[in-house]
Structure 1
Amino acid sequence: MELYQHLLKLQNAGKLIRVGLVGCGQMGSGMVHITRKMPGMETVAIADVNPERPIETFISIGIPRSEIVVTSNYAVASDALSKGKYLVTEDALLLTRLDNIDAVVEATGITEIGAQVAWNCILNKKNITMLNVETDVTVGVFLSRMARKTGCVYTVAAGDEPAVCKMLYDFSSSMGFEVVCLGKGKNNVINYEASPDSCRAEAESKNMNPKMLASFKDGTKTMVEMAAVSNATGLVPDIPGMHGPKVDLPDLTKHFIPQKDGGVLSKSGCVDYSTGNIAPGVFAIVTTDDPRIHADLRFVSMGNGPYYLFLRPFHLCNIETPLAVAEAAIYGETTVVAKDMVSEVVSVAKRDLKAGEVIGGIGSADIFNRIYTYKDARAMKAIPMGIAPGATILKDIPQGTPLTEDAVAPDTSKFVYQLRKMQDEMLHQSAV
């Protein structure tokens, strides 16, 4: 598909894909710079709790301050965009209603905001691209099915690990290979006690939010990303939390294979990660039962088999996100979506939690998160990660213990809780 040529045609016709961004942090602001350079697309509106961040971002790409309108009033915002000005607002849901915006990118990483923005985009038949994978692994099955019914596109963004893993999965499966394992590189060993305070100095040196960095270090991000891969492909975590060995590139095909052949997996068809020298890459371990294909793979220097490595040695995060926006707008295609709840990300006590305490968000000092199969998580009556923030502890929970329904009371007033309840009912009915 000639995506670049289609974008050039839009540019030459003056019919740009007009993008609204929710969340102007490190990832979101970087994406704005990319859309400024791309043909056929431009970010015209940004919603953030701190209006100064989007204002600074627009100015940094050459937009005069006089061309930036700050408002949460629908009529004023619509008029400003119709006149070619740029919009900054604190009201994320405003972007879902404006006719002057063709697509929205959600980049907050907060499940409550992500659920509200995605749901309202779908109600207004507006394409929504999620840089917020945390929301997707919580309610993505429901959101993607609702989007199909209303005729818009709900998709996880290109560039993040779920998308590039799915790319390798589709590449391999399209040629008839059996995908034994899909995985990613993680550039540090998990520290289950990482907190915003312990990560603050490093986060500030990298211009990151300390809670975001803590969520990387405590393993939450890896669990979320591979759960999204699992729900999109049907591949499963072999054990809770996956294996995560330190394996370097040459040895991936020796470790991420079934135990009967000397590997760590109890079966074929898994998701996992390595703390070896893989990051920022992703990989697929594949095999085939056809002797001729084995011979051809040896001929093209892919090794002696029977397992082979397909590698993408990079992922570009927010830099690639606009490609998902473009494919949705031009072709009506998704980049990666949850087909079913195959895996669940479950919250685990990062410290001893006491009755009466209210749980902090992802990356806080209260919880880390671990991937389980959805079946096992339901059997445990575990609390999904996406509805844990803001929940109240009903009885003491020792450090390292998964949060369960008998010990935790989620905040039932949150929209993401209501959406998750509808998703659970939908999945239960389809299973009956």
Structure 2
Amino acid sequence: MIAHCFIRLIKQHYQDMDISHVLTRRPLNTLGDFPLPECLTNSIDELVAGADLIVECSGDVFHGTEVIERAFEAGLPVVTINAELQVTTGSYLAGKGFITEAEGDQPGSLAALHEEALMMGFKPLVYGNMKGYLNHDPSPEDMAYWAKRQGISVDQTTSFTDGTKVQIEQVVVGNGLGATITRQGLEGLASTNLNETGNLLGLMAERVGQPLVDYVIPAGYPAGGVFLVCQHDENQQAALEYFKLGPGPFYTLVRPFHLCSLEVGKTVRRVLNGGGVLLNNSTTPTLGVGAIAKRAMRAGELIERGIGGFQFRGEAVRLDDEPDHVPIGLLRKTALKRAVEPGQLITFDDVDILPSRALDIVMTQRAVRIGASAPVQPQGAPDALGMVAIGG
């Protein structure tokens, strides 16, 4: 969906840009409804040849990592709309080339609101996400129904519903903008008044002594956007109250929408015009997203997928607190080595993980972080999904 909508946007509204190639692993003759079928390719070499920039919108950690490394070898900047990749291998990639998350999904929208707030003199204390619905353990039947109704995949629907997606998004924001969390899994406050909830979160940030990332579950007002809780100079208090932001000392700035693929073009233009990184997972992350078991599982059980599956959900963790946790983005076609209980955080001792370039990166970074040497796993076969190359 992201690639289709983004390509239509560029084709119809960005006359100074062309789509040179679109990478897919699907047979090309099965994509007759694609808006630019002549641009489709199964070749990474064709994707990067002649491109000025790569837009990575696959949602896939494994293949996305490999393609981004190939783009960096060709000296190309990369714009992603893939928080799952950012939180798994993005910090390593940020040290190897230009990679930025796009405006449109919540992390990029928060980063853009952060930039606007700074230009107005605000000091952000809380980076907030508004989540419409949460069920930590939804049924496959419910997810199939809602996936069909919304026109997206079951795994996407499940990751949105069980909270994994919002945990991933907020961890990327925290790492990229220097914020932390109050506890594993975030607070996730129920809220009937965003200003009042923002004041509470602002107090929590002051108590921690560092900006926070978190989310709210609204009731009585629309969800789907992002917000900042900020402070400002005391001598601006009267003006801010006149501007309807309240008496302070905390001020809540709301962006009530994020339009995904329709906003990616703004970040593409930013990068092509020489602008800097909007947001990435930083080269020195402090937060990660671990896998929490939804149910009891036996040794030898196969894990088809972590993100969007029915065995695990993701929770934000501090890397210093949980150095042995397995990033949920690595769990794909993995076997349990021993039984686990509901609510258990999965560690590397619990699973056998298939070799991949993503695993190489995670293990290398983990070794650096804990100050010990760790064996580097052999590289496995890549996955593959869509990428878009922008040509001048």
TM range (shorter): 0.7 to 0.9
Residues 95-140 of structure 1, C-alpha deviation per residue, up to 9 Å, x if partnerless?
Answer: 54422x2222222212111111111111111121111110101111
Give secondary structure in 2 for the equivalent of 1:316: coil
1:48 maps to which of 8, 18, 24:
24
Q: Cα offset for 1:403?
A: 0.5
What is the aligned counterpart of 2:198 among 253, 257, 275? Answer: 253
1:208 counterpart = 2:152: yes
Contact (CA 8 Å) 1:104, 1:127: kept in 2 or not? yes
TM-score, length of structure 1 as denominator length: 0.79
Partner of 2:99: 154
Whether the aligned pair in 1 keeps the contact of 2:290 and 2:314 (CA below 8 Å) is yes
Q: 1:130 aligns with which of 80, 97, 110?
A: 80
Q: Cα offset for 1:425?
A: 4.2
Q: C-alpha offsets along residues 342-375 of structure 1, whole Å, 9 cap, x if unaligned?
A: 2101011122222112212220112111111222
Percentage of matched positions with identical amino acids: 23
Please state whether the residue corresponding to 2:320 is helix, strand or coil.
helix
Q: Which residue of 1 aligns with 2:42?
A: 90
Q: Tell whether the 8 Å contact from 1:195 to 1:211 is kept in structure 2 after alignment.
A: no
State the partner residue of 1:232: 176
The match for 1:172 among 103, 106, 117 is 117
Counterpart selection for 2:10 from 20, 28, 35: 35
SS in 2 for 1:146: coil
| One-letter amino acid of the structure 1 residue matched with residue 33 of structure 2 | E
1:40-59 deviations in whole A, cap 9, x for unaligned?
1232322223335654122x
SS at match of 1:237: coil
Q: Tell me the equivalent position of 1:353.
A: 297
Question: Residue 43 and residue 137 in structure 1: after superposition, are their counterparts in 2 closer, same or farther (change >3 A)?
Answer: same
Note the 1:20-419 alignment, pairs <5 A.
26-37=1-12, 38-50=14-26, 51=28, 54-58=31-35, 68=37, 86-91=38-43, 93-99=44-50, 101-147=51-97, 153-188=98-133, 190-194=134-138, 196-247=140-191, 248-259=193-204, 268-276=210-218, 277-288=221-232, 290-339=233-282, 340-361=284-305, 362-378=307-323, 381-411=324-354, 413-419=355-361
Q: Judge conservation of contact 1:108–1:132 (CA < 8 Å) in 2.
A: yes
Contact 1:196-1:364 at 8 Å conserved across structures: no
CA distance in 2, matches of 1:169, 1:429: 33
Distance (Å, rounded) in 1 between the aligned partners of 2:93 and 2:117: 27
Moved more, 301-310 or 176-185: 176-185
Q: Distance in 2 between matches of 1:105 and 1:236?
A: 28
CA distance in 2, matches of 1:52, 1:164: 36
Higher helix share: 1
Aligned residue in 1 for 2:386? none
Cα distance between partner residues in 1 of 2:362 and 2:7: 31
CA shift in 2, pair 1:352/1:123, >3 Å: same
- TM-score (norm: length of structure 2): 0.86
Q: What CA distance in whole angstroms lies between the structure 1 residues aligned with 2:46 and 2:309?
A: 29
Matches within 5 A, 1:3-22: none
Are the counterparts in 1 of residues 205 and 211 from structure 2 also a CA contact under 8 Å?
A: no
User: Following the alignment from structure 1 to structure 2, what is the Cα–Cα distance between the partners of residues 305 and 332?
Assistant: 33
> Could you tell me how far 1:208 is from its partner in structure 2?
0.6
Matched-pair contact (CA < 8 Å) for 2:23–2:47: no
- The residue identity in structure 2 corresponding to 1:415 is R
Cα gap change, 1:332 to 1:429, in 2 (>3 Å): farther
Which string of whole-angstrom CA distances, capped at 9 and with x for unpartnered residues, describes residues 405-429 of structure 1? 2212222x21110122233345557
Aligned positions, number: 365
Please state whether the residue corresponding to 1:193 is helix, strand or coil: coil
Report the secondary structure of 2:303's partner residue: coil
Contact 1:345 1:369 in 2 (8 A): yes
What is the DSSP-based 3-state SS (H/G/I as helix, E as strand, rest coil) of the residue aligned with 2:362? helix
The answer to whether the 8 Å contact 2:87/2:289 transfers is: yes
For 1:230-262, what per-residue CA distance to the aligned partner results, in whole angstroms no more than 9, with x for missing partners?
Answer: 01011111111111112133433333222599x
SS in 1 for 2:190: coil
Distance across 1 between alignment mates of 2:67 and 2:366 = 20
TM-aligned CA deviation for residue 332 of structure 1? 4.6
**Residues 202 and 53 of structure 1, relative CA distance in 2, 3 Å threshold:** farther
Cα distance in 1 between the residues matched to 2:30 and 2:101: 24
Say if 1:322 and 1:54 are closer, same or farther in 2 by CA, change over 3 A: farther
Once residues 257 and 53 of structure 1 are traced to their aligned partners in structure 2, the CA distance between those partners, rounded to angstroms, is 51
| Partner Cα distance (2:16, 2:140) in 1 | 39
**In structure 2, C-alpha distance between the alignment counterparts of 1:47 and 1:200, rounded to whole Å:** 28
